[in-house]
Amino acid sequence: MGVKTEKLLSILTLQPVIPVLAVDSVATAIPLARALVAGGLKAIEITLRTEAALDAIRAVADEVEGAEVGSGTILNAAQFEKAMRAGSKFIVTPGTTQELLDVSRKAPVPLLPGAATVSEVMSLREEGYSVMKFFPAEQSGGAAFLKSVSSPLAGTSFCPTGGITPANAKSYLSLPNVVCVGGSWVAPKELVTAGDWKAITRLAEEACALTAS
C-alpha cells in the first residue's frame, strides 16, 4: 500500500490542532468526540494509554458523524492491527521501529511516524516518509529545532506533539514545515469528568482559530 502521504495529509490538514486524548470510558468517548467535532476538530487521536481506548475508537468510528478518529501511542505491530480493526483512519507512533514500518506498508491506513532527531528524520525519509510526528516537541528543542532543520531537511513536514499549549502553538504553526500540532488542552480532564461538552466545544473552536498570525 506504500506510504499513503496524500491520505495522511487529507486528515492532518483538516484543522490546525489534532486533539490527543486519553479516554477512560466509552461512555464519555462519544459525547467528547461529538463536542470536538461540533467545534471544528474532526480529526481526533485517541491514545492507547487506557484499557478503554480500543472500544472508544470503535465507538467513535461507528457513532460520531464527521469524526476522523485515529490511534496514538502505537508501539508495535499487534497494536497497529488492533487499532486498525477498531476503525482507526490513521495511526500515530511516538517513535519508529522497522516492525511498525513493515506493518504500515501493508496496511490501508496511513502512518504518522514519530521522530525526534535529524538522524531519525533522515531514516524515515529513506523509507519514503515526508510527514512525521515531532515528539516530544518541547523537550526535543521545540519550534526553534524545527525552524533550524527546515532548510537542510526541506520537503519534510511535521505535526509537533508534546508540551504544546495555546500559548506556544502559534510559534509552531507559523513555521512552513509544520502541518498542524497535537495537543490535549482542548479536552481537559476536569471538563470531561464534569461532562461539560459545551466548554469543550468552545475550546475546540478556539483551537480552530489558531493560525500563524
Any idea what the Cα angle at residue 182 is, between residues 179 and 186, rounded to 5°?
A: 125
Per-residue pLDDT, 2: 79
Please state, in angstroms and rounded to a whole number, the distance separating the CA atoms of residues 65 and 32: 13
Q: Is the peptide bond before 136 cis (omega within 30 degrees of 0)?
A: yes
Question: Which domains are seen in the chain, by residue range?
Answer: 5-208 (3.20.20.70)
Please state, in angstroms and rounded to a whole number, the distance separating the CA atoms of residues 128 and 113: 11
Per-residue pLDDT, 211: 75
Residue 112, H or E segment? strand 111-112
C-alpha cell recorded at residue 7 = 491520505
Closest by Cα among 132, 158, 153 to 143: 158
- Among 4, 42, 45, 68, which one carries the catalytic annotation? 45
Closest by Cα among 27, 91, 82, 81 to 59: 27
- Among 4, 42, 89, 133, which one carries the catalytic annotation? 133
Q: Do residues 114 and 93 make contact, with C-beta atoms less than 8 angstroms apart?
A: yes
What is the C-alpha end-to-end distance of the chain, expressed in Å? 38
Please state, in angstroms and rounded to a whole number, the distance separating the CA atoms of residues 193 and 115: 32
pTM: 0.96
Q: How many CB atoms lie within 10 A of CB 151?
A: 8
> Would you tell me the crossing angle of helices 26-38 and 53-63 to the nearest 10 degrees?
50
- Concerning whether 82 is annotated as a catalytic residue, the answer is no
pLDDT tens-place string over residues 56-67: 999 999 999 999
Listed as ranges, residues in the chain with pLDDT below 50 are 212-213
Per-residue pLDDT, 178: 98
- Concerning whether 45 is annotated as a catalytic residue, the answer is yes
Per-residue pLDDT, 83: 98
